[in-house]
Every structure is written in C-alpha cells, then in structure tokens.
Chains A and B, each alone.
Chain A
Amino acid sequence: MGEEKPTRIVLQNSHQIDPYSLDEAIGVGAYAAIAKIVEEKISPADVIETVKASGLRGRGGAGFPTGLKWSFTATDDQVYVICNADEGEPGTFKDRLILEVDPHRLIEGMMIAGYAVGATVGFVYVRGEYALSIERMSTAVQAARKAGLLGKSILGSGFSFDIEIKKGAGAYVCGEETSLIESIEGKRGYPRLKPPYPGAVGLWDKPTVVNNVETLANVPPILLHGAEWFRSVGTEKCPGTKVYTLLGHVERPGLTEAPMGTKLQDLIETCGGGVKDGKAFKAALIGGAAGAFVCADCLDKPMDFDSLQELSAVLGSGAILVLNEDASIVDLLDGILSFFKHESCGQCVPCRGGTVALKTLSERVRNGTGTLADLDKMIEIAETMQAMSLCPLGQSPILPIQTALRHFRAEFEARLNAAGSAPVA
C-alpha cells in the first residue's frame, strides 16, 4: 500500500486546523472518504465489509465490532444514525476534544455510517454541559450544509443525509443507548428493555445505529486508507489507536492517543510524565466509575478491551485514574458510590434501592462506624444488582467494589479497626 503506519488517527488534526473553518478541514482531507465512496460508487455493503475487515470496535466502552453493528441494522423506510456524544463517564473527555477540534471528521463519519445503513438523518446527542462542543459542532454542521456536503443528493450522488444536534440536560444514564433514544424523543431518559436492540427498534421505533464519537471519528480514515492500514497499529483483536485520558497523580494529567494495547506503565511514563512528585504507584482505576481498580502487577499489561477482560477489569472509555501511595481506596470507592446513587435513574428497583444501600454502607465504612460484615454485604448487594438491573448503570458498581476489596481489603479493615468498631457484625 505504501501508506505510512499511523501514530495518531482520530486526533491527527488536533490543533492543526481552525475548528471553525470548513476550508481548513477540507485542506487536511475532510470529506475525502465520502467523496471517494460516492465517486467510485462503492456499495453500502462494501463499506460495511471494509469496516468489518478493519476490526474497529466501539470506543464508547463496550468494544462491540462496529461493522457487525452496522450489518445488524434492519432496513426500513426510515433509518437513523445517532452519534453518542453524551460523554459522562467520570474521567473521560476524549469525545469533547474530538467535537471541539475536528467536528467535520465526525460529520463525515456519520455520513459514512448513514450511507452504509441507509439512513438519511443523523443526530448528535451532546451532553448539555458541553457548551463549546455544541457551538463548534453546530457551526460545522451549518458550514457543511451550506457547502452542499449535507442535505439532498450530496456531491450530486443521489445520497442525501442531514444532521441535527440535540442538547442533553444532565443525566449520566443517557449515555446508555436506549436512554439516549428516549431522551431524543423528549422523554425521561429511562433505559429500555433489550432486546429489541436499537438496530431493529430504535428512535421512534425505527432501526437506529448508535455509535460513540471516537468510533465514528475512526471511520473516514479507514475508508480512505483501507482496513489493512488501520490494522497496522494496535493489537490483532483491537486494531487502531485509543484516546486514553490519564489523570490523577501523574505529572501531566491529560489526554493522549496511543496504539491499542499500549502498556499501562508506558502510558504513565511517556504520556503522564510519571507518578507525581516521585511517589510510588499504588493503583489505577481504569474505565471510570464503572471501571475496575488494578494494582502494580498490571503495570506491564496492555491496555485494550481483551487484555483487561482477562484481568477481570475493563478498558471502558479509556479513562485511567492513577493513584499514588497516599491515595485512599476507601474514600475513592465512597465517592464512586455517591456517583451511582446520584445517577441511578430510578426506573428499576434493584438499582434504585441498591445504589442507596451501597452508599449507606460505604459511608459507614468510610467514617469507621461500619462493621466487617458491611463489606460482604456490599458485594452481595452489588452482585444482585448486576444480575437484576435493567441497564449497565446498575450492573456496574460490582466492578469497582469487587476489585477494591480484592486488592485492598486490608485498607478497609484497617479503617474499621482504627475506629474501634467491632470486628464482626
């Protein structure tokens, strides 16, 4: 192919172009992939095949193969594409950056998704707090529409596609695809029972593809350079790059794009500048609040979907919160459980009651008035929630609780013992 192995894909244009300028975006290759598709009359089925062959997996957290998701989308007189920009996982802001620095890449990714699944309308659902993202994305959509890159018969191809931006209003659960769909419909963001999946019954009961921002941002270069090019970085099962957010006790907190499967130690050293103030590494919380605690034996492990799953952890959205030797796992877990209590939507009983009970127990442990039995009770409740909750929100607290107690149980016991509480219930 002669194409160079990419080091950056989705953030390639970050700070290289004026995000308000369509001309500058086109100057660095925006809309070249969709132009190639319509000019060479590449069929929607072939577009899906290329995305399948690239091995691209959903970057919102679940890691589901994108091409497969597209191929599962039913045909109908109306099909929708939704870009999930309701980024709310604590410690994650990669989607915000993509929206703010390269909005045309996202528009093009949505167009290609629309072309592939037969959709003519796309929605970008952006969280309400992201005022700048909404502004830049709106400006870009207007410019694209004015230039004839959105609308009827784009580039004279007969393919029509337009995009509407929807502003969220503050609800973590709306990052879950069916809650997001309910929210676009103007309702409370309650998750739906699955199946049916959105690919069959989605927005206004029509087949709907929901993809994360980072996922869609990978699509144009894949179509332009080919699946093989994309596979030249990352791992066999997780090709491409990942935008990781590296936070907490590191010298340079922030965001970095690196090949999928980069080792935790390398991310901390090269991107984060090492653990802050020369302190020792204690643990990392990977994947946000719905993520897992890992300890020092994970430093040499690759950060990708499969490798972390083997360790009973998750990559999730790619948020990595680094904790030094002074960090308190007990306090942090309590913060995480406050978050879940606040964000539970209240629709299903296991999550509504469970998140409250977990916070009550955790607070008791944190302030030393709890008992050792409370720790086991937390596991029991979170396991019940995992089995019985309707959506990933209620299914998630088990992960941070279980991994915190697996690696740092002694710290919890010490907190309880120091407060002089009874060793058993």
Chain B
Amino acid sequence: MRELLDRYPASTEYMLDMLHDLQDADERNYLSEEALRAVAEYLDVPLSEVVSTATFYTMYSLKPRGRHIIRFCESPPCQLVGAESLLDLLSKHLGVGVGETTADGLFTLETSSCLGVCGVAPAMMINTEVHGNLTEERIVAALESIKALPAGSGAGGVAHG
C-alpha cells in the first residue's frame, strides 16, 4: 500500500489519484479502512477528511465489491431506448439488485449517470470496457465472456492492462 502512495508527493492534490490506485489494487475493488487510514497518515490529514472526499465520488466504494464492476447507464438517451427494462433483465440474470454483489463475488451491479457513449445507447461499462447497443442477448454474452476469463482478472487488473 505504501509503495503505491510513495509514487505521489504527500499533497492533498493527489488524494483522488491515491484513492483510485488503492481501490484498483484491492481485489474486492473497494477502499478498506486500512487504505483510508494509510492515505490519511501519508498526507498527514485527519481520517475524516479522507473519508469525506472518498464518499463524495461515485467511483469509490467503502464496501467490498465484486471483481467486476458493471456500470449501467440510466441517463435519458439510454432510458429513451429501453434501458429501464434492460436493467431489470440484467438484475434478474445476476440475481442481485442495484448496488449489490453476486454471491460468487464476480459482479457488482451499479447504475451510472451518462457514460458518454450515447451513440450506442443503451449502454453499460464492465470495468473499463463499453458494451453498447444492448439487448438481452448482448447482455448475457457480455456476462458470459467475463465469466470465461481466467480467475484473478478483475476491474483493477483490467484498468492496469
């Protein structure tokens, strides 16, 4: 953990970067109390300040998540072309609701404001990869392709290529 932090000067300017890195390095894709404390100590600021920043942004999670993060877009351009019913289908396929993680620890389902890929609406991201022009078949295929990945690959791993 300290190794990741040492790459940055000890300035709050880099807090968001540190939080991104620590979260990506965690196999459960979240910011543990230990991680938050490490940032506070490294920057010499109160823990409350780190928690305050971390809880403001939707990309950070303070509770453990699955290895793969699904961000399903629910903004108007996606909504207009059927995102709401597709989200219900996706939720049914995964067997979890929004904000929840599948029992096998593979997926966490989240919704997102506009992902900026409206040309292929309705759309979702799995980790850093965009899946567009969604239909039930495409959603199932995307989930299957992730399930087929070797164990150990996940959001953090993909982000770091």
Contacts and interface: CB of A to CB of B under 8 A. Distances in A.
A390 interface: no
B128 interface: yes
Given A128-B20, A171-B56, A249 B13 contact: no
B76 A170 contact: no
B80 A327 contact: yes
A256 to B, nearest CB: 11
Interface stretch (A68-76, A88-96, A355-363): A88-96
A185 interface: yes
B135 interface: no
A183 B57 CA distance: 10
Given A186-B13, A327-B80, A335 B75 contact: yes
Interface string B91-113: 00000000000000000000011
B56 A345 contact: yes
A172 B75 CA distance: 12
Given A289-B75, A332-B80, A335-B76, A170 B121 contact: no
B76 A289 contact: yes
Nearest to B14: A186
Interface string A143-184: 000000000000000000000001111111000000000011
Nearest to A322: B80
Interface string A58-80: 00000000000000000000000
Given A255-B119, A321-B76, A90 B113 contact: yes
Interface string A84-113: 000111111100100000000000000000
Interface string B47-68: 0000011001111100000000
Contact of A89 (B13, B52, B58, B114): B114
B89 interface: no
A186 B15 contact: yes
Most buried by B among A131, A288, A327: A131
B117 A343 contact: no
Contact of B58 (A93, A171, A183, A285): A171
Contacts of B59: 128-129, 169-170
B58 A91 contact: no
Given A129-B115, A172-B113, A343-B113, A183 B76 contact: no
Interface in B11-25: 11-17, 19-20
A197 interface: no
B79 interface: yes
A156 to B, nearest CB: 30
Interface residues of A, number: 51
Interface size class for chain B? 35 or more
Given A89-B114, A93-B119, A129-B115, A188 B52 contact: yes
A118 interface: no
A198 interface: no
A343 B113 CA distance: 8
Contacts of A285: 76
Contacts of A342: 113
Interface string A316-327: 000101010001
Given A92-B116, A187-B53, A253-B118, A169 B77 contact: no
A130 interface: yes
B114 A88 contact: yes
A167 B120 CA distance: 24
B141 interface: no
Contact of B79 (A128, A129, A132, A332): A332
Given A285-B76, A331-B79, A332-B76, A183 B16 contact: yes
B112 A248 contact: no
Contact of A87 (B11, B13, B116): B116
Contact of B20 (A167, A247, A288, A319): A167
B1 interface: no
Interface string A323-363: 10001000110011011001101000000000000000000
Given A129-B125, A285-B76, A321-B76, A92 B114 contact: yes
A335 B13 contact: no
A321 B119 contact: no
Contacts of B11: 186
Contacts of B52: 187-188
Contacts of A120: none
21 contacts: A88-B113, A88-B116, A93-B116, A128-B57, A129-B59, A129-B125, A132-B128, A168-B57, A169-B57, A170-B57, A189-B56, A247-B121, A249-B80, A253-B118, A253-B120, A289-B76, A321-B77, A321-B80, A335-B75, A338-B74, A339-B76
Interface of A: 87-93, 96, 127-132, 166-172, 183-189, 245, 247-249, 253-255, 285, 288-289, 319, 321, 323, 327, 331-332, 335-336, 338-339, 342-343, 345
Given A88-B114, A129-B71, 7 more contacts: A92-B116, A96-B116, A167-B16, A171-B56, A183-B16, A285-B76, A323-B80
Interface of B: 11-17, 19-20, 52-53, 56-60, 71, 74-77, 79-81, 112-121, 125, 128, 159
